[in-house]
Structure 1
Amino acid sequence: MASIHRRYTTLILDLGDVLFRWSPKTETAIPPRQLKDILSSVTWFEYERGRLSQEACYERCAEEFKIEASVIAEAFKQARGSLRPNEEFIALIRDLRREMHGDLTVLALSNISLPDYEYIMSLSSDWTTVFDRVFPSALVGERKPHLGCYRKVISEMNLEPQTTVFVDDKLDNVASARSLGMHGIVFDNQANVFRQLRNIFGDPIRRGQEYLRGHAGKLESSTDNGLIFEENFTQLIIYELTQDRTLISLSECPRTWNFFRGEPLFSETFPDDVDTTSVALTVLQPDRALVNSVLDEMLEYVDADGIMQTYFDRSRPRMDPFVCVNVLSLFYENGRGHELPRTLDWVYEVLLHRAYHGGSRYYLSPDCFLFFMSRLLKRADDPAVQARLRPLFVERVNERVGAAGDSMDLAFRILAAASVGVQCPRDLERLTAGQCDDGGWDLCWFYVFGSTGVKAGNRGLTTALAVTAIQTAIGRPPSPSPSAASSSFRPSSPYKFLGISRPASPIRFGDLLRPWRKMSRSNLKSQ
């Protein structure tokens, strides 16, 4: 199925301080600060552009910084000797290539002198094999952040900037890449960058499903004070979302349902509730006669205002609009929604006046209310109910598009919006970017235990919601949305991309070409 977003197909990486780690500290007479000044000098920039030899560069720096050329040479020899490939990053690139099934082009673009480039090429590592091309500044003839450096790569590789991700440890270099339409990532924290790259190039649906299957039967809820507990409600929602019974654990409830599956958290006993019961009977769809008998019993817990109460316990008079929506879903699915007219009126008033903002006694998310409303509209086949609720629901959904929220809020919102044909591209981008390294999504607070104020959530629920939302929207992280002008932009010198098998070492510019490169160039000329 086609993505509603442009798919990224190219990754450009810096080498120094990204794919290679090195320490600027040296035991020579050059202090670290002065070493940094040398690296930031015009002379050094010319050296990295390939316009000065190493000897000429060191001699100019010696004169400029009043240091012996031999001392400079020794300092950089030691610094060069400390360079080590970032094997974790190399392994990640291999993983991303596998996940993209050959559809990922990986390039390197680095400000590096020719001697330093020759040195890293000689290291006993197979780092070069993860790249399709390497662009050292000394052979490109320009360095980052100058735009000509990037445009050389774009033209040479016939790239679409909007499908390209650029990673560099310097913000200036990333800013230039972004200005040309690339998705820029500053390499400030390896774990954070790895997460971003997995979320951009990995398959979020597959990774999320793997997380759920890997935790099947163990997707338990937890409170904000770290207490893990067993309950039915979240399990039922996960089942509704995934249709995979092996993922969840449920109590054996022959008639009405209890929220808790194990021991209650705050008391020795806890009554069954209409919320869990409504979701269970909606999702599991037991015998119709049983369902109708439960509906008859539920009607006994409607208060004097015609509002359905939360518990099968008259000593606990509680009302919650979120709960009422789920009750109405069950009644309408069984053709009995007309028996709760005043409960429906109240839900309408809550939607009309946005009373769901800020949550309710038991639920925290306004987007959750809209998600529950989407379930109701799906089940209410009464034209009068649809005419009354649907236009207002669409209006309220549109109001939430782009609003703040955690991953669970975003997933609820995307699913609610999708039910009425509303797209949330930026919310989808944020949701996809929130995927964790293990494939799941973070724990988000789903509900609150009434007056206790204790919040609870479930990573399995957040993950099931996110996977279903992404599946429903058929989306991936979007590229920067191009304007008409940027969409029509093409490099001034068009190049036809010709498929070339990846060599054992990277392609290089200039006169110092590997023998295989010379062969490739001659082959290209003949085509």
Structure 2
Amino acid sequence: MAIQKCQSTYTAIVLELFNVVVKTSLNELTVVPHLTYQSLICCSSTLQFQRNEISYAEYQRRLEAEWDLAPNVIDTMFAQVRGTMTVNTELLEQLRGLKTMMGGRLQIYAVSNASEKDHAYMRSLPVDWTIFDHIFTSTEMRMRKPELRCFRHVLQSISKSPHELIFIDTEPENVLTAQSLGMKGIKPKSAAEIEPILHNLLLDPLPRARSFLQQNAKRLHSICENGAIMKENFAQLLILEATGDKSLIELEHKHPSSSTWNFFIGTPLFTKSDFPDDLDTTSMATTVLGLEEKQAHRLLDRMLQYINQDGLISTFFTDRKNRVDPVVCVNVLALFYTYDRGYELAPTLEWIRQVVIKRAYLHGTPFYPNPEQFLFFLGRLLRHVSHLGGIFDELRQLLRERLKERLGLPADPIALVMRLITCNEMGIRDARGMKRLLDMQCVDGGWEPGAMYTYASKNISIGNRGVSTAFAISAIEGYRERFQM
């Protein structure tokens, strides 16, 4: 089934063959120094030969005069380089797949600076070239890139407007000229970059992202920076809250008779097997899944037993070593305000206010490594208290200001998508951030995990592709709805 791209203007891809689809190597070149070959291939005589303005005999004569090369050396030089030609068949198949997905709405062309002999040799290679609707060569056109007339000739020949074309080349001057005419220019560092770029330019991100979640349902587990898979409840709850789809997730309530929740599913990783339940996961589970009123109030009563000597809510249901984390505090506050008992955590709320005012979150928190995580969960708290004014009006204004300070700053996928979701909710249009998010989408439709939490005692970063992808869907939908993307 073809996947349609929302509001796409691109109907054709134009790419250079050499250095994109066809690779050559100078490793087999022995008759002249590599630098000599690289220089002469750019000289005016070569340009004229590629435009079919002079014969090969005249070209030889000029190279002999200009570079002191004998005709047989010139012949051998080109034969040695030509003999190293290899075709990236994987890229051609990727392009063919894109054509299929676009349902006949995509044409693919090549525009190549190549002599007639080089082009003929390339076409003799055992490759199916039917992927291309047409291959334009400099000898056929008697013009070459980066000449403006060359690009204009191609546009006229294929009856396309510049804004309909994606142009791919490894030479910056060629990409520059294409962009100056209005085409979308791509200068890939490697052939491997081309497929994800094209997918993100041509295909709608939302169906691809939803397909990724469905295809990986029940397996959307977190991953540590060392590669270990971590099964845990908190990420599952975030995915559920973002999507509303229980079929995607796997949860484990270790002690169903208790209202408290453990971070881990199954055996805890890198820690003791009796890892305690925590207020963060419990708050998230209770706000997402709900709880019978009396049982919820009993749970809140128990949580109040874990306020430290500073009057701040702690992280774990334990009297052993405990930590205070502003994000955990915010999530517990969201739970308490859900049941109209937020006033019982007034010192915690005031401390959060000071964290925002003083920007104390900029270096991360004990469990959450990026400022965006704190700002995101603060925004989530404000959703739960949208009917309250006072300090919350101040926090809303502060959140808007702090988000604006983050616009344009480097961010991994999860930090960026959390920033975008919160910006959408606060009415801040981050067009550059949205473009960056769309560019980050992987070929499989998902986003990379980024660093969502830090395993504090081990200093290990943990991320989750399911969360980053579910949040990306929310961010894109929210942006389109609010700002008419």
Q: So what's the TM-score if we normalise by structure 2?
A: 0.87
Q: Aligned residue for 1:144?
A: 145
**Which shows bigger deviation, 189-198 or 113-122?**
113-122
Q: Aligned residue for 2:264?
A: 260
Q: Aligned residue for 2:185?
A: 184
Q: Aligned residue for 1:343?
A: 348
- Deviation sequence 1:337-380 (CA, Å, 0-9, x none): 33333322222222222221111111111111111122112221
Q: Aligned residue for 2:405?
A: 399
Q: Aligned residue for 2:437?
A: 431
Q: CA deviation at 1:33?
A: 4.4
- Aligned residue runs from structure 1 range 248-287, under 5 A: 248-252=249-253, 253-254=255-256, 255-264=259-268, 265-287=270-292
CA distance in 2, matches of 1:27, 1:110: 22
SS in 2 for 1:12: strand
Whether contact under 8 Å (1:30, 1:75) holds in the other structure is: yes
CA distance in 2, matches of 1:333, 1:434: 35
Q: Aligned residue for 1:454?
A: 460
State the AA in 2 paired with 1:110: S
CA distance in 2, matches of 1:140, 1:284: 66
State the AA in 2 paired with 1:449: Y
Q: CA deviation at 1:324?
A: 1.4
- Deviation sequence 1:227-268 (CA, Å, 0-9, x none): 333221111112212222232221124211111222233223
Residues 408 and 5 of structure 1: CA distance in aligned 2, closer, same or farther (over 3 Å): farther
SS in 1 for 2:453: strand
**Which shows bigger deviation, 25-34 or 341-350?**
25-34
- 1:85 matched to 2:87? The reply is yes
State the AA in 1 paired with 2:238: I
Q: CA deviation at 1:71?
A: 4.9
- Aligned residue runs from structure 1 range 364-375, under 5 A: 364-375=369-380
- Deviation sequence 1:435-454 (CA, Å, 0-9, x none): 33443333322222334433
CA distance in 1, matches of 2:243, 2:60: 64
Q: Aligned residue for 2:388?
A: 383
Residues 118 and 243 of structure 1: CA distance in aligned 2, closer, same or farther (over 3 Å): same
- Deviation sequence 1:427-475 (CA, Å, 0-9, x none): 2222222233443333322222334433322233223323332333349
CA distance in 1, matches of 2:458, 2:21: 50
Q: CA deviation at 1:322?
A: 0.6
State the AA in 2 paired with 1:46: Q
Whether contact under 8 Å (2:304, 2:313) holds in the other structure is: yes
CA distance in 2, matches of 1:411, 1:375: 14
Aligned pairs, number: 473
Whether contact under 8 Å (1:28, 1:74) holds in the other structure is: no
- Deviation sequence 1:258-295 (CA, Å, 0-9, x none): 11222233223222111100100111123333223212
**Which shows bigger deviation, 327-336 or 412-421?**
327-336
1:12 aligns with one of 11, 14, 19: 14
Whether contact under 8 Å (1:257, 1:272) holds in the other structure is: yes
- 1:239 matched to 2:240? The reply is yes
- Deviation sequence 1:374-402 (CA, Å, 0-9, x none): 21122213331552322222222222111
CA distance in 2, matches of 1:391, 1:181: 40
1:291 aligns with one of 281, 290, 296: 296
SS in 2 for 1:340: helix
Residues 278 and 74 of structure 1: CA distance in aligned 2, closer, same or farther (over 3 Å): same
SS in 1 for 2:389: helix
Whether contact under 8 Å (1:224, 1:456) holds in the other structure is: yes
CA distance in 1, matches of 2:242, 2:354: 28
- Aligned residue runs from structure 1 range 300-379, under 5 A: 300-379=305-384
CA distance in 1, matches of 2:458, 2:77: 64
RMSD between superposed Cα atoms in Å: 2.9
CA distance in 2, matches of 1:339, 1:141: 81
Q: Aligned residue for 2:106?
A: 104
- Deviation sequence 1:193-236 (CA, Å, 0-9, x none): 33333333344333333333333222222333443332211111
- Deviation sequence 1:115-157 (CA, Å, 0-9, x none): 4444545555331x32333321223332122333223334444
Q: CA deviation at 1:98?
A: 2.6
Q: CA deviation at 1:408?
A: 1.0
Whether contact under 8 Å (2:31, 2:76) holds in the other structure is: no
SS in 1 for 2:109: strand
Whether contact under 8 Å (2:169, 2:187) holds in the other structure is: yes
Query: Which segments of 5 or more consecutive residues in structure 1 lack a partner in the other structure?
Result: 476-527
Q: CA deviation at 1:93?
A: 0.7
Q: Aligned residue for 2:473?
A: 467
Query: Which segments of 5 or more consecutive residues in structure 2 lack a partner in the other structure?
Result: none
- Aligned residue runs from structure 1 range 94-173, under 5 A: 94-121=96-123, 123-127=125-129, 129-157=130-158, 159-173=160-174
**Which shows bigger deviation, 129-138 or 234-243?**
129-138
- Aligned residue runs from structure 1 range 462-501, under 5 A: 462-474=468-480
1:43 aligns with one of 45, 50, 56: 45
2:23 aligns with one of 16, 21, 25: 21
Whether contact under 8 Å (2:308, 2:314) holds in the other structure is: yes
CA distance in 1, matches of 2:393, 2:145: 59
Q: CA deviation at 1:17?
A: 2.2
CA distance in 2, matches of 1:353, 1:26: 63
CA distance in 2, matches of 1:24, 1:361: 53
SS in 1 for 2:355: helix
CA distance in 1, matches of 2:221, 2:228: 10
Whether contact under 8 Å (1:54, 1:115) holds in the other structure is: no
Residues 224 and 137 of structure 1: CA distance in aligned 2, closer, same or farther (over 3 Å): same
SS in 2 for 1:360: coil
Whether contact under 8 Å (2:6, 2:203) holds in the other structure is: no
Whether contact under 8 Å (1:20, 1:83) holds in the other structure is: yes
Residues 225 and 35 of structure 1: CA distance in aligned 2, closer, same or farther (over 3 Å): closer
Q: Aligned residue for 1:525?
A: none
Whether contact under 8 Å (1:3, 1:474) holds in the other structure is: no
SS in 1 for 2:108: strand
Q: CA deviation at 1:31?
A: 5.2
Question: Highest relative contact order (Cα 8 Å, sep 6+), 1 or 2?
Answer: 1
State the AA in 2 paired with 1:234: A
Q: CA deviation at 1:68?
A: 4.2
- Deviation sequence 1:316-349 (CA, Å, 0-9, x none): 4432211111112222233333333332222222
